[in-house]
């Protein structure tokens, strides 16, 4: 098999072009560090500092390179880099974007030295009837869907209730909402049952945002002059609008219905959208988006069912970059490492938006050697192909940062007669 070094060169150039756009307002050492982290994680498919250093191919000792990366991570997330990143993401989103907010967990069952390590529900081991708790951290993530319907993070914070400065999970969620509102002006926030809280509705109303939130069975709604359980309204109706939907990777024929109600958080009219035929109990979605036709009802349901993209985003982050295997111990370093993983995920989104005829994208997909021809979520395939192309590199990206030295004038001796 013939391997062309031009693919490796072009891949490095594309990564550095993206990295330099994010770090353009940083100092030169921080620019180099951003490039090292982005290139190293994409090449290694890991967030372990030792794996990143292996891909940098530096002449210095490995322990010294790891210490250098650790010192930079201890500084936290550079605010100028975060601002540049958000400005780039803003250009990728449509005029009225959809923002998904969800919580995940990072489990460290054998960890003892990590800062403020708390207890979290292990989603991989828990079932509907039994919750399993392990040591770890909570992760609050807000992702916006790009024009190509791929999720890109606009807010990601690793936190623990054991922190001294910790107030509540709601405050962190509110920060994510405020960032989305400040970034896009107006968006549609889509959230699951865990966010069925009066405080969430009031916050989104205060920010002037649209929302689609799945309700729990405990929710009561104001309907025809009295408070009634949402489940009562659900049981009194039947779906009249038929539409195909994808849920947990399977195609379903869903039947939809809607009714105008009010929620306990405010006296504003909202709509209760009911989804029958998918789960054992019909889903109840609350939205303040205007509904005037059956197409509007279908659009609201599809907005909620696009949540699978942020769930896949979490899964890709953990599988392709081994997010749960990090070794840095301070929370500020963990969040900084999380930021650079976010940059790598954004680079995958950047590559997914390139046309199918792009030569570099074609080489990446060929290198991934995927079984399925077409998929709806490209991140896994792109990450595998990029790592495969960079595996042929014999040097890192340090030589791309050449020191500019001043040009000295030639010294001349003048002959005096």
pLDDT in tens, 122-173: 877 777 778 888 899 999 999 999 998 999 999 999 999 899 889 999 999 9
At residue 141, what are phi and psi to the nearest 5 degrees? Answer: -130, 140
**Percent of the chain with pLDDT strictly greater than 70:** 95
Q: Which of 182, 169, 190, 172 is nearest to 208 (CA)?
A: 182
Res 413: pLDDT: 66
Work out the angle at residue 16's Cα, subtended by the Cα atoms of residues 377 and 387, and round it to the nearest 5 degrees. Answer: 45
Strands 210-214 and 188-191: parallel
Across the chain, mean pLDDT equals 91
- Give the pLDDT band of residue 295 (cuts 50, 70, 90): very high
- Give the pLDDT band of residue 239 (cuts 50, 70, 90): confident
Res 5: pLDDT: 73
CA gap 63, 329 in Å, rounded: 17
Res 138: pLDDT: 94
pLDDT surpassing 80 at residue 407: no
- Give the pLDDT band of residue 251 (cuts 50, 70, 90): confident
At residue 209, what are phi and psi to the nearest 5 degrees? Answer: -105, 155
Strands 98-107 and 188-191: parallel
Res 1: pLDDT: 40
| pLDDT tens digits for range 87-126 | 999 999 998 999 999 999 999 988 889 999 999 888 777 7
Res 403: pLDDT: 66
pLDDT surpassing 60 at residue 303: yes
State the average pLDDT over residues 387-416: 77
At residue 323, what are phi and psi to the nearest 5 degrees? Answer: -60, -35
State the average pLDDT over residues 75-92: 96
Q: Which residue has the tokens 């709806």?
A: 376
């Amino acid at each position: 098999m013939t391997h062309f070094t031009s693919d490796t060169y072009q891949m490095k150039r594309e990564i550095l072009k993206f990295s330099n756009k994010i770090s353009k307002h940083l100092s030169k050492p921080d620019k180099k560090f951003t490039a090292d982290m982005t290139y190293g994680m994409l090449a290694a498919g890991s967030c372990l500092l030792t794996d990143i250093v292996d891909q940098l191919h530096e002449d210095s000792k490995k322990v010294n390179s790891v210490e250098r990366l650790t010192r930079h991570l201890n500084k936290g997330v550079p605010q100028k880099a975060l601002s540049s990143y958000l400005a780039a993401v803003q250009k990728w989103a449509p005029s009225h974007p959809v923002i998904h907010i969800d919580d995940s967990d990072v489990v460290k069952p054998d960890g003892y030295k990590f800062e403020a390590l708390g207890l979290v529900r292990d989603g991989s081991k828990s079932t509907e009837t039994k919750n399993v708790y392990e040591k770890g951290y909570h992760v609050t993530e807000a992702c916006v869907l790009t024009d190509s319907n791929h999720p890109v993070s606009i807010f990601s914070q690793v936190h623990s209730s054991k922190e001294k400065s910790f107030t509540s999970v709601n405050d962190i969620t509110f920060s994510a909402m405020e960032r989305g509102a400040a970034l896009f002006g107006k968006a549609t926030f889509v959230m699951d049952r865990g966010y069925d809280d009066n405080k969430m509705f009031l916050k989104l109303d205060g920010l002037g945002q649209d929302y689609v939130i799945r309700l729990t069975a405990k929710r009561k709604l104001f309907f025809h002059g009295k408070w009634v359980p949402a489940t009562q309204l659900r049981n009194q109706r039947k779906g009249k609008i038929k539409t195909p939907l994808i849920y947990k990777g399977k195609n379903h024929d869903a039947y939809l219905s809607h009714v105008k109600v009010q929620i306990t958080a405010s006296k504003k009219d909202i709509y209760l959208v009911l989804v029958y035929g998918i789960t054992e109990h019909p889903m109840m979605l609350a939205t303040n988006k205007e509904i005037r036709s059956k197409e509007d009802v279908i659009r609201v349901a599809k907005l909620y069912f696009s949540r699978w993209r942020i769930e896949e985003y979490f899964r890709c982050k953990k599988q392709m970059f081994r997010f749960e295997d990090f070794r840095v111990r301070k929370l500020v370093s963990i969040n900084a490492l999380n930021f650079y993983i976010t940059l790598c995920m954004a680079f995958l989104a950047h590559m997914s938006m390139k046309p199918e005829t792009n030569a570099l994208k074609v080489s990446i997909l060929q290198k991934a050697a995927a079984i399925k021809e077409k998929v709806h979520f490209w991140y896994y395939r792109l990450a595998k192909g990029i790592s495969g192309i960079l595996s042929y590199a014999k040097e890192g990206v340090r030589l791309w940062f050449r020191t500019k030295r001043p040009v000295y004038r030639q010294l001349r001796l003048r002959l005096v007669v």
